[in-house]
C-alpha cells in the first residue's frame, strides 16, 4: 500500500483506506463515524469510492469554529 505522503494531489474518488487516511482516521473509526456513502463503480465493494469533495463537506460540517471573513482590498482594519 502506498504511503499517503505519495499523494500530494489526492484523487477525486478514494477507496476506503485512502478516504480514511484523507480524513486522518483509521479505517475502523472512519467506518463508524463517517456518514458519507461511497459511489459504486462495480458490483463489488472493491469498486466503491468516496468522493473527496463530499468528505471535505462532512469535515467542514464538523468544524466548531466560526468562519472568518477574509479582508478585501480597501477594507478598513
Q: What is the DSSP letter of 15?
A: -
The answer to whether residue 3 scores a pLDDT higher than 90 is no
Residue 7: the pLDDT is 64
Give pLDDT, residue 73.
75
Residue scoring higher pLDDT (36 or 69) = 36
* pLDDT tens for each residue of 8-29: 789 999 999 999 999 999 999 9
Is 60 exceeded by the pLDDT of residue 1? no
Q: What is the pLDDT of residues 41-61, one digit of tens each?
A: 888 878 999 999 999 999 999
Residue 65 banded pLDDT, cuts 50, 70, 90: confident
The string of DSSP letters for 20-76 reads HHHHT--HHHHHHH--PPPEESSSSGGGEEEEHHHHHHHHHHT--SPPPPPP-TT--
Amino acid at each position: 500500500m502506498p504511503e499517503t505522503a505519495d499523494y500530494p494531489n489526492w484523487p477525486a474518488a478514494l477507496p476506503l483506506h485512502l478516504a480514511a487516511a484523507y480524513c486522518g482516521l483509521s479505517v475502523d473509526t472512519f467506518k463508524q463515524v463517517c456518514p458519507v456513502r461511497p459511489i459504486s463503480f462495480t458490483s463489488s465493494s472493491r469498486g466503491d469510492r468516496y468522493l473527496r469533495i463530499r468528505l471535505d463537506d462532512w469535515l467542514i460540517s464538523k468544524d466548531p469554529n466560526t468562519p472568518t471573513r477574509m479582508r478585501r482590498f480597501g477594507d478598513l482594519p
